[in-house]
Amino acid sequence: MGDAFITGDAIADAVLDYGVALANAGHADKIEVPGIGRDGDGRFDLLIGPASQLSAAHVEHTGAELEDPEFVADIRERITHQTGKWAPTESASALDWDL
């Protein structure tokens, strides 16, 4: 059974991008994601690996958007370590594709 929490857009994008990088590299990692759950603000443990099934959805939230630039920078650095010299310059989930 999964659990859900709210986090900011930049945080969610970084986590999803990291999941892709880990899956492509065949690696796994445990991270603590800042978020808002049933009991308020906190950090939520995620185990991300090749078999992970992560999803994100936009939800209405009346408070300020949760931001954690240090967390996002750390995850982007971890992505760089997984991908070698190639690393996305912007979130893959923010790109528009024309098919």
44: its two tokens? 């939520």
Q: What is the pLDDT of residues 6-34, one digit of tens each?
A: 999 999 999 999 999 999 999 999 999 99
94 pLDDT above the threshold of 70: no
Q: Which of 50, 7, 56, 53 is nearest to 32 (CA)?
A: 7
pTM of the model: 0.80
74 pLDDT above the threshold of 70: yes
pLDDT confidence of residue 26:
93
- Give the DSSP H or E segment for 72: helix 69-83
Q: What is the pLDDT of residues 30-39, one digit of tens each?
A: 999 999 998 8
Q: Which of 75, 57, 47 is nearest to 6 (CA)?
A: 57
Asked if 15 contacts 75 with a C-beta cutoff of 8 angstroms, the reply is yes
- Give the DSSP H or E segment for 9: helix 9-25
